[in-house]
Structure 1
Amino acid sequence: MTERQARPGAATPTRRQALLQTAGALAVFSCGSSVQAQAGYPAKPVHFVVGYPAGGAVDIVGRTVGQAMSTVLGQPVIVDNKPGAGSNIAIKSVIDSPADGYNLLVAANALAANMALYQPAPFDAERDLAPVGLIGRVPVVLAVNPTAGIDSLAQLLKTAKDKPGSVNYATPGNGSTPHLAVELFERAAGVQLAHVPYRGGGPAITDVVGGQLPMVAVNALEAVAQVRAGRLKVLAVMSAKRSSLFPEAPTLAESGFAGFEASVWYGLLAPAATPKPVLAQLNAALQKALAQKDVRDKLSAAGGEVEPGSAEAFATLLHTERARYDKAIRAGNIKPD
């Protein structure tokens, strides 16, 4: 056999070319199938997992945004309420779900706080979840019983400084967003208040309205009915700017605490390994939903303000809030209920 003769079974140039062409075709097919699969998303209903009971603030936000996004995505958005363990049950269920864009988490501040509040940490939100986008914020408010003898924030601060620990305040619970907001405020103001945790904002408000305690810290949505009825008076809102629900109430920043901000925020997240094209599609659908007037009106009526933006901006907020809450929880030795 000469050098030019082909060995038995050896690939001739023609055969080699055929093999290369086949491999190339398979690669193109594989890539095309992946792109086609992502382009076909969503092909079935999308689930919004909410770690709180139906009818609460997070549930209202999830249903409002979900209904608008279903129109954009062309598939139903189903809200699944999975309350319990400070929303950890819902969070972990999404983390453990397939990373295909069909199970998303509607989260609030507990997502950032629970990593320090619960030990050992039940999850790492920045590692285990991929932000889709921020939805909006609702301010935390400091409200008093009008008969409590505390008519202004200045009077509250004077009383607290003259008699540290003499002013009791109610919150929805240990480690709740309003509780952590007041902890941050106490350090900023150099005062000491006495925390009385409840199991939910409703019972906390009921006891303040009934005169058992002088003050409550809750999100604006929970307080609005009692404020409008004259049974509560808002001393201050903790948001960066005044609330449309309580335009007469000053912010803490206006009251001498420049830069102070503590709001209940809401955002949408997916399992960490969700394909980037799916995350981009979800963010685009979220932005379209938040641009709708009826969505903005519904969230405004609930005391919130829409905050559209990128997934990267939401990731930055989550990281910042995690560090801030971690510091507050450790400094206050706060334990979950």
Structure 2
Amino acid sequence: MGKWLGMCAVVAAAVLTSGAASAQSGFPSKPVHIYVPYSAGGAVDILARTLGEVVSKQWGQGVVIENRPGAGGVVASQALAGSAPDGHTLIVVASGHATNPFLYEKLPYDTFKDFTPITLLASSPNILLVKADSPFKTLADMIAQARAKPGSLAFGHAGNGTSTHLAGELLKGLAKIDINAIPYKGGVPAINDLLGGQIPMSFNNGPESVGQLQAGAVRALAVTTASRASFLPDVPSMAETVPGYDTEVWWGLLGPAGMPADLVEKLAHDFVAALNTDQMKARLTKLGASPIGSTPQQFDQKIHADYEKWGPIIKAAGMKAE
């Protein structure tokens, strides 16, 4: 996440000062629908709704958030792929968009050809959590026990192929430890079992971890990004103990394939402007996330990079969608 945040200000300035005036005149001419591939109340839903509030004021036009959960984002993505490329139908996807081709035997769309990247909106580290009274005080403590007693430890995660599952598999590979992955139907059930003592640790994303951390019910051993998170400055990064470790969960905005270049430019401009408002910054901070606001080209590169990075790991672990 560090390199993305480092370029945020430069990218935002470039997009905000670009020729947005050349975009198709009259857009939006009707309410803009933004699909959310997950249920209401989660991090992606909150992000999309807050963005919708801000850009609707900019446009003087309504923004409708449609929750279309199912199959790790596949249901909503398929609906978007079949929509008109006029900018009035968009989707906020999570980082799983880049890894779904490896988790599902056959997708009803092409991950790259059927979509238009607009901007990488925000990112958040995943966090390795233990109970507040856990004997593990540091990541090194946990790794030492895992090496001393292979297979004796397990971590919870939000489901097969999710970013939290991948975070654990990356740790297993880089730290050369044998720990068991326990899938749950979402991150919150994993935290509940962590609190109940059924599992010794859990990988969770920032938004679902912040409240438990603030309440003192859990303790963070490490964040998964290469550098420390701004909202958890006292928590080490994984890379401080396991060199080369770096992963995150991100959220980005896509449109269907075939959108005119000037319309894509306008949408990128407007959503980057929204990300830079005090309202969005405050909401993202509460979610344990950081704004990015990339160019369309940089978002496209990010999707391809994650596809290349995680494909071999997913195949090696034999992961399949639940």
TM-score normalized by the length of structure 2: 0.90
Counterpart pick for 1:262 among 240, 247, 254: 247
Counterpart pick for 1:166 among 129, 152, 155: 152
Does residue 335 in structure 1 map to residue 320 in structure 2?
yes
Identity of aligned residues (%): 37
In structure 2, the residue matched to 1:208 is 194
Distance 1:73 1:212, change over 3 A: same
Structure 1 residues 88-103: aligned runs within 5 Å: 88-103=74-89
Does residue 54 in structure 1 map to residue 40 in structure 2?
yes
Alpha-carbon deviation of 1:189?
Answer: 1.2
Distance 1:36 1:169, change over 3 A: closer
Ranges in structure 1 where 5+ consecutive residues have no aligned partner: 1-34
Distance 1:153 1:97, change over 3 A: same
In 2: Cα distance, 1:156 partner to 1:57 partner = 29
In structure 2, the residue matched to 1:13 is none
Does residue 284 in structure 1 map to residue 269 in structure 2?
yes
In structure 1, the residue matched to 2:297 is 312
Alpha-carbon deviation of 1:241?
Answer: 2.5
Does residue 179 in structure 1 map to residue 165 in structure 2?
yes
In 2: Cα distance, 1:124 partner to 1:157 partner = 39
In structure 2, the residue matched to 1:128 is 114
Distance 1:215 1:96, change over 3 A: same
How many residue pairs get aligned? The number is 302
Structure 1 residues 1-337: aligned runs within 5 Å: 38-258=24-244, 260-337=245-322
Higher-Rg member (1/2): 1
Kept after mapping to 2: 8 A contact 1:72/1:288 = no
In 1: Cα distance, 2:22 partner to 2:305 partner = 37
In 1: Cα distance, 2:269 partner to 2:102 partner = 32
In 1: Cα distance, 2:294 partner to 2:73 partner = 24
Alpha-carbon deviation of 1:37?
Answer: 9.8
Distance 1:74 1:253, change over 3 A: same
| Structure 1 residue runs of 4 or more that deviate by more than 3 Å after TM superposition | none
In 1: Cα distance, 2:117 partner to 2:215 partner = 39
Alpha-carbon deviation of 1:112?
Answer: 0.6
Alpha-carbon deviation of 1:122?
Answer: 3.7
Kept after mapping to 1: 8 A contact 2:207/2:288 = yes
Alpha-carbon deviation of 1:86?
Answer: 1.1
208-217 vs 148-157, which deviates more?
148-157
Ranges in structure 2 where 5+ consecutive residues have no aligned partner: 1-20
Question: What is the RMSD of the two structures over their aligned residues, measured on CA atoms?
Answer: 1.6
In 2: Cα distance, 1:272 partner to 1:185 partner = 36
